[in-house]
Amino acid sequence: MSVKLASNKLEWYQGGAWYDITSSMLEGASAEMETTGNRANALAFGEATEPRATIPVKDVLSAAPWENIPIRLTPTLDGSTAQVFGGIIVNRSRDVASMTFECAGWAELIRKTSKSIYSPAFYRRPAATKTTATSIEDPSSGSYAGGLTNYTFWQCGGRPYEQAGSYPTATFYYSCDQAVLAPTWSWLAGEDGWAELLKLAQASGGQVYQGPDGVVRYRQVLGVADLTPGASFDESTYKSIAEKADTDQRYTKLTCAYIPREARPLQEVVNDSTFRLVHIGETITITLEPQWPLKSLEQASAGQLKADTITAVYLDSNVVAQGGSGYTHTLVVDAQRVTITITNTSGKPFGIYGIKLNGEPIVAGEAGSVTVGSGTIVGSALDGDAAVYIQSAEDGERLCQMALAFYNLTRPIYTLTDVAHDPSLDVGDVISLTNARYGLSGVACVLLSIKLDHAGVVGEYEVSPVTGLPKASDFYIVGINYTGQTKQLGY
């Protein structure tokens, strides 16, 4: 649905900083965003937003770089400022006097930039770790213990929303809950990072979405039902309401596939016999991809390979020594890639005849599956190859248990139209909904989508009740004193 915004601030990110280009903005901008494209289940794990915006601007901007340039749109409504879109420019069309940017959310940026990202292998690291004002999010920190979701966000230019003050020029912000599940091993190896994030979210009972404030969030769905309604809506604040429900994802019995992964002891993981000539003073970069991801690589010292790892020989067959009199090297070890740079410091050309690396590979075991629940409405807790992140029967069981708690009834979605939009609301927030026709009286519902119209004042909401869902507050939380209390253990 198109949205016409009256008072806006438009910025784009050029040369490492955000620049205000509101003066070049033309009327007719529109934006839309929603938490889930999966309409069969309002709280499906792994679902995500795909926000889009169309922004007409003056042709005066045509000389500036625009391809994949971050851009954000922040209207001011009734004195309240709230960003409604953040993303990158993916398409530009021009006519004689103006041009129009077609923009996609940060998912597009992550999708495009993550294909060059290789991560270390994380062991039993939660799919996402909670971002706080003090959480260590920079993977280059020696104390880094973030999940693969956090790692991906950071490497794609995101910075923790809770630490926004420290990163005023961040491309985008992200915020994560602590994921319930921790795959035995997880890593990135040049894949579509957004797709991997969705797999991770689906395998850990979470959702990844971008709200209108531009913050990309990993939300652990057990927390949704704990949220206090931020606003109330009844027949006086919306014009009409429609209900729809779908049984496509209602199950009483779920199966989950898993693929065990284990680290094996030190052994040869790369045996590369490619010949490479290294001229005097030249530095070459060698990228090697082991068959299996690596838990570790054998090194003489941090960042330095053992001398017998690289077979380097001068043209007269004499062996080239490791060190300043022969060659120096650097080493970067990722789970699925080893990058070695070799600099000829010997004063004579030499050839590299072979590289043999030892390491601890992470191998896949025999795939299995678990089934939880009973009855005849059978489904799968995971779609496609998200099972790569379920690496034990136990994790498969807990995902099924958690999924059954969410999928065991058909949860309706209510569409509210001509709503007096509350700019403080964000997708993912919980509101209180009242409607006599549907028997709703102050029912807590999660906001699944916000589509604005009429200059951002009137909009359309999609909401779904969270009544009856498990809540984080039902469970014991690590680190809290529960003496004398009764709670539940989580999945």
Partner 1 sequence: MGLRPPIPDPRSLTPMSIALHPVPTFYDSVGMILSAADLRAIRRNAAIVDGLSYRQMPCFDSSAGLDTYTVGYYPSSPPFRIWNGYFRFRSGMTTLTIEGSATPAGSETIKVFLNGSGTAAATITPTSSFTQNITISGLGYTDGQIVQVELQVQGSASTATARYVIYDIYASPISFATAWPGVPTFSGTYSALKLNQLSNAAQWLFDRMAATPIVPNLMMRYALGSFGTLPNLRPLWYGSVGRYFSNDIFRLFGVYTNVTDVAQKLYVYINGSLASTLGPFGPGTATISIPVALTHTLGTRVEASVWEETITPGAVQAAWKQSRFSLTYRYSQADGSGYPYATMPADFSPAVNISAATLDSRLNALATVLNNTKTRIDNTPNIWNRARAVRRWFGKNGEDTQGDFDARARPFFARQGYRLVVKGKGVSIGFGPITVPSDPQKGPQYDAHTYGKTESVIDGDKVDTKTVYLDSIDGLVPGTTYQLVGDVQYAEELLS
- Closest contact distance (angstroms) between CB of 376 and partner 1 is 22
482 is a site residue for partner 1 (CB under 8 A): yes
Choices 107-115, 124-132, 302-310, 346-354 (CB under 8 A): range interacting with partner 1: 124-132
Residues of this chain, 223-262, that bind partner 1 according to CB under 8 A: 223, 260, 262
477 is a site residue for partner 1 (CB under 8 A): yes
Written in H, E and C, the secondary structure of 365-427 is CCCEEEEEECCCCEEECCCHHHHHHCCCHHHHHHHHHHHHHHHCCCCCEEEEEEEECCCCCCC
Judged by beta carbon, residue 38 or residue 184, the one nearer partner 1 is: 184
Buried b or exposed e, range 400-435, using 16+ CB within 10 angstroms:
bbbbbbbbbeebbbbbbeebebbbebbbbbbbbbbb
Judged by beta carbon, residue 323 or residue 365, the one nearer partner 1 is: 365
Of 13, 101, 187, 491, the one binding partner 1 by CB under 8 A = 491
- Closest contact distance (angstroms) between CB of 46 and partner 1 is 19
Q: Which amino acid is at 138?
A: D
Of 177, 422, 426, 460, the one binding partner 1 by CB under 8 A = 177
- Cα–Cα distance measured from residue 241 to residue 468, given in angstroms and rounded to the nearest whole number: 22
- Cα–Cα distance measured from residue 413 to residue 445, given in angstroms and rounded to the nearest whole number: 9
382 and 390 in contact (C-beta within 8 Å)? Answer: yes
Judged by beta carbon, residue 12 or residue 491, the one nearer partner 1 is: 491
- Cα–Cα distance measured from residue 238 to residue 14, given in angstroms and rounded to the nearest whole number: 40
Determine how β-strand 158-160 pairs with β-strand 206-210: unpaired
204 is a site residue for partner 1 (CB under 8 A): no
Of 31, 182, 427, 445, the one binding partner 1 by CB under 8 A = 182
Judged by beta carbon, residue 104 or residue 221, the one nearer partner 1 is: 221
- Closest contact distance (angstroms) between CB of 136 and partner 1 is 12
Helices (H), 97-143: 106-113
For the CA atoms of 77, 81, 84, 88, the dihedral, rounded to the nearest 10 degrees, stands at 130
226 and 473 in contact (C-beta within 8 Å)? Answer: yes
Judged by beta carbon, residue 350 or residue 406, the one nearer partner 1 is: 406
Angle CA 388–183–291, to nearest 5: 50
124 is a site residue for partner 1 (CB under 8 A): yes
Of 21, 55, 222, 433, the one binding partner 1 by CB under 8 A = 222
Binding mask 135-164 for partner 1 (x = CB under 8 A): x---------x-------------------
- Closest contact distance (angstroms) between CB of 42 and partner 1 is 20
Of 53, 110, 180, 413, the one binding partner 1 by CB under 8 A = 180
- Closest contact distance (angstroms) between CB of 473 and partner 1 is 10
Buried b or exposed e, range 454-480, using 16+ CB within 10 angstroms:
ebbbbbbbbbbbbeebbebeeeeeeee
Return the closest-CA partner of residue 207 out of 188, 224, 230, 190. Answer: 224
Binding mask 261-300 for partner 1 (x = CB under 8 A): -x-xx-x---------------------------------
For CA atoms 407, 477, 181, 449, the dihedral sign is: positive
Choices 11-19, 157-165, 293-301, 477-485 (CB under 8 A): range interacting with partner 1: 477-485
Judged by beta carbon, residue 123 or residue 167, the one nearer partner 1 is: 123
- Closest contact distance (angstroms) between CB of 320 and partner 1 is 27
For the CA atoms of 403, 178, 145, 269, the dihedral, rounded to the nearest 10 degrees, stands at 10
Choices 93-101, 158-166, 290-298, 385-393 (CB under 8 A): range interacting with partner 1: 385-393
What's the N-to-C CA distance of the chain in angstroms? 39
Match 């330095």 to its residue by tokens. 304
Residues that bind partner 1 (CB under 8 A): 124-126, 129-130, 132, 135, 145, 177-178, 180, 182, 184, 220, 222-223, 260, 262, 264-265, 267, 365-366, 368, 391-395, 397-398, 401, 405, 470, 472, 474-491
